[in-house]
Structure 1
Amino acid sequence: MFADAIDRVDPFTRPIHSIVRLFGHNEIVPGTATLFFINQEGCAITCRHVAELITQTEAIHKNHRKFQGERRGVERLPDASKRIAELEKKYNLRPDSVIRIRNNFVGCVDQFRELTIDMHPTQDLALLRFKGYNRLLYQSHAVFLKDTSRVKAGRSLCRLGYPFPEFTNFRYDTWSDDIEWTTAGRSASPRFPIDGIITRMLSENDMITSIEMSTPGLRGQSGGPLFDTNGVIYGMQSATRHLHLGFDIEDREVLVNGRKSRVSNYPFLNVGQCIHVDIIKAFLREKGVTFHEE
């Protein structure tokens, strides 16, 4: 049903690859997110929670570097362990703290001098503008729904994104004690579509802000387009909501592999939440950005 639409949407939908290092570890955690371009001027949209991580990248790195500098000054003192623990507390560093993030905007532009980010004040939406590029690496652009009366419960729509971080072009460099991108390894991650039907409209302050879908948005699809069979954009994947179904089972005896076991189960329905197309268009108008409607 959506095969032709995916071919229309794919040329302007792109992955954001990220590699993350946690405090006290050399292992690298790969991650993905999604953005899609809205014109031929290097402008794209994604989720605000994705954009916030991008903007925090340098501050996170500087915080760890300051900690490293002070730690070197106390490592040979008699009470080094105590002082290092105090520094960890000072810089808010715990075993699960992120100390380094590197991002790679795959297939967007050949290079860029500046990336400006505008975040919506209340919704999970952000505008990215690449500046100082020589050549666009994406083709075409989003075409948004004009008549939003067509956004109705029961309509089938699809989302496209990059939920599975299968790229391997990164490494930990012992000499610099840092993580980095490399030219070796796999540099791509597979695109992944997921369809569903509109279930409800979600409102805030008597204004429709989101579209609820019968299927969840997957991790890494955040920022990806929501579209119909013609490739027309209805919204943007933002979050997954977990609705408690109430069909709870507690301490029930069942047969598991031929043996009696006591189990409990608390089922939830996972549904997708997408930013409504009207919210997106209003934000783009406010920022004076060119976009296209069907």
Structure 2
Amino acid sequence: MFVDAIERVDAFTRPLHSIVRLYGHSDIVPGTATLFFVNEDGVAITCKHVAELIDQVDTIHQNYLSFLGERRYMQREKNAGHLITQLENKFKLSPNTVVRIRNSFINCFDQYQKLTTEYHPTEDLALLRFEGYGRKLYRSCATFLGDSSLVKPGRSLCRLGYPFPEFTNFRYNPSIDDIEWTTLGRITSPHFPIDGIVTRLIRDKGSITGIEMSTPGLRGQSGGPLFDPKGLIYGMQSSTRHLHMGFDIEDREVLINGRRSKVSNYPFLNVGQCVHVDVIKAFLREKGVKFYEG
């Protein structure tokens, strides 16, 4: 049903690859997110929570560099351990704190000079404007649904994104104590479609703002397009909601590998939540961004 649509949507949907380092660790955590282009002028959209991580890259890095600078002097003191602990509290560093993020926009442009972001005031939606770019590597742009009355429960739609970070072109460089991209390893991650039906329309203060889907949006698909079999964009994947089903089982005795065991289970229904096409189009109009409808 969605074979041709996936090929059309894939031409303007792109992954964001990220590598993350946590405080006190040299291990690298890879991650992905998704964006898609709305016109031929280098303008794309993604989720607000994705754009916020893009904007925080320099702030996070500068905070860590400031910490390292002060720690260098404290390491000479007799009570260095105590002083460094106080310093960690000052800079809000713990073993789970992100101290370095590096991002790479895959197959968007051969190069670009500037990226600006603009956030929707209430919804999980952001605008990305690439400036000073050379050759465009995306091959077309989105066409949004013109008649939003077609967004109804029961309609089959599909999402496309990059939920599985299979790229390996990164490393920790001990000589500079930093993480970095390399020219070795796999530089791509495969796209992954997931279909479902519209279950409910999400309302906020009387207005329809979102679309609930019967299947979850996968981690890394955030910012990816929601589309019909023709490739028309109905919305953008934002998050996954976990609905408690009430079919709970506690301490039930069952046979597992021939042995009696007691098990408990508290099932949830995982449903996708997408930003509605009308919200996206209104935001683009407000920001003076050209886009296409069909």
TM bin (shorter chain): over 0.9
Partners of 1:43 and 1:237 in 2: CA distance: 18
CA deviation profile, 1:20-66 (whole Å, cap 9, x unmatched) = 00000000000000000000000000000000000000000000000
1:64 corresponds to 2:60: no
Report what 1:173 is aligned to. 173
Report what 2:47 is aligned to. 47
- Aligned identity (percent) is 69
Report what 2:216 is aligned to. 216
Partners of 1:23 and 1:270 in 2: CA distance: 32
Cα deviation for residue 87 of structure 1 reads: 0.4
Once the two structures are superposed, the pairs formed by residues 135-146 of structure 1 within 5 Å of their partners are 135-146=135-146
Deviation larger for 212-221 or 108-117: 108-117
3-state SS, counterpart of residue 252 of structure 1? strand
Report what 1:84 is aligned to. 84
Report what 2:256 is aligned to. 256
Quick one: which amino acid aligns to residue 210 of structure 1? Answer: G
Cα deviation for residue 135 of structure 1 reads: 1.2
Quick one: which amino acid aligns to residue 201 of structure 1? Answer: L
Cα deviation for residue 230 of structure 1 reads: 0.3
3-state SS, counterpart of residue 141 of structure 1? coil
Cα deviation for residue 110 of structure 1 reads: 1.3
Cα deviation for residue 111 of structure 1 reads: 1.0
Once the two structures are superposed, the pairs formed by residues 156-167 of structure 1 within 5 Å of their partners are 156-167=156-167
3-state SS, counterpart of residue 285 of structure 2? helix
Quick one: which amino acid aligns to residue 36 of structure 1? Answer: F
Structure 2: 5+ residue stretches without partners: none
Partners of 1:126 and 1:65 in 2: CA distance: 29
CA deviation profile, 1:83-139 (whole Å, cap 9, x unmatched) = 000000000000000000000000011111110100001000000000001111101
Partners of 2:191 and 2:147 in 1: CA distance: 28
Report what 1:225 is aligned to. 225
3-state SS, counterpart of residue 73 of structure 1? helix
Partners of 2:273 and 2:101 in 1: CA distance: 26
Partners of 2:111 and 2:190 in 1: CA distance: 23
Partners of 2:93 and 2:23 in 1: CA distance: 7
Report what 2:22 is aligned to. 22
Cα deviation for residue 251 of structure 1 reads: 1.1
Quick one: which amino acid aligns to residue 108 of structure 2? Answer: C
- TM-score scaled by length of structure 1: 1.00
Report what 2:95 is aligned to. 95
Quick one: which amino acid aligns to residue 194 of structure 1? Answer: I
Quick one: which amino acid aligns to residue 171 of structure 1? Answer: R
Report what 1:292 is aligned to. 292
3-state SS, counterpart of residue 144 of structure 2? coil
Partners of 1:99 and 1:203 in 2: CA distance: 37
Quick one: which amino acid aligns to residue 9 of structure 1? Answer: V
Partners of 1:211 and 1:84 in 2: CA distance: 48
Partners of 1:33 and 1:109 in 2: CA distance: 17
Partners of 2:24 and 2:257 in 1: CA distance: 41
CA deviation profile, 1:143-201 (whole Å, cap 9, x unmatched) = 00000010000000000000000000001111111000011110000100000000000
Structure 1: 5+ residue stretches without partners: none
Partners of 2:250 and 2:175 in 1: CA distance: 54
3-state SS, counterpart of residue 222 of structure 1? coil
Q: Which runs of 4+ in 1 moved over 6 A?
A: none
Partners of 1:2 and 1:218 in 2: CA distance: 18
3-state SS, counterpart of residue 92 of structure 2? coil
3-state SS, counterpart of residue 70 of structure 2? helix
- TM-score scaled by length of structure 2: 1.00
Report what 2:133 is aligned to. 133
Instruction: Give the CA RMSD over aligned residues.
Output: 0.4
3-state SS, counterpart of residue 56 of structure 2? helix
Report what 1:272 is aligned to. 272
3-state SS, counterpart of residue 158 of structure 1? strand
Partners of 1:201 and 1:256 in 2: CA distance: 41
